[in-house]
Amino acid sequence: MPDTSHAKSPKIIAVANQKGGVGKTTTAINLAAALAESSQNVLVIDLDPQGNASTGLGIEVEDRKYTTYDLLLDDVDLSSVVMPTVTPGLMIVPATVDLSSADMELISNEKRSFLLHDALRQPAIDAFGLDYILIDCPPSLNLLTVNAMIAAHSVLVPLQSEFFALEGLSQLMLTIREVRQSGNKDLRIEGIVLTMYDRRNNLSLQVEQDARDNLGELVFSTRIPRNVRVSEAPSFAMPVLTYDTGSKGAQAYRALAQEVLTRNTKTAA
Is the per-residue pLDDT at 167 higher than 90? no
Q: Does the residue 169 lie in any domain? A: yes
Is the per-residue pLDDT at 4 higher than 70? no
- Count: domains in the chain: 1
Q: Does the residue 2 lie in any domain? A: no
Complete DSSP assignment for the chain: ----S--PPPEEEEE--SSSSSSHHHHHHHHHHHHHHTT--EEEEE--TT-HHHHHTT--GGG-SS-HHHHHHS---HHHH-EE-SSTTEEEE---GGGGGHHHHHTT-TTTTTHHHHHTTSGGGGGGT-SEEEEE--SS-SHHHHHHHHH-SEEEEEEESSTTHHHHHHHHHHHHHHHHHHT-TT-EEEEEEEEEE-TT-HHHHHHHHHHHHHHGGGEEEEEEE--HHHHHGGGGTS-HHHH-TTSHHHHHHHHHHHHHHHHHHHHH-
* pLDDT value at residue 40: 97
For 3-12, 48-57, 186-195, which range has the lowest pLDDT when averaged over its residues? 3-12
Q: Does the residue 166 lie in any domain? A: yes
Q: Does the residue 137 lie in any domain? A: yes
Q: Does the residue 1 lie in any domain? A: no
Q: Does the residue 4 lie in any domain? A: no
Q: Does the residue 20 lie in any domain? A: yes
The per-residue pLDDT for range 47-64, each reduced to its tens digit, is 999 999 999 999 999 999
Q: Does the residue 6 lie in any domain? A: no
pTM across the whole model: 0.93
* pLDDT value at residue 1: 45
Is the per-residue pLDDT at 156 higher than 90? yes
* pLDDT value at residue 6: 47
Q: What is the mean pLDDT of residues 53-79?
A: 93
Kindly report the CATH number assigned to the domain that includes residue 105: 3.40.50.300
Q: What is the mean pLDDT of residues 69-92?
A: 93
Domain that holds residue 242: 11-268
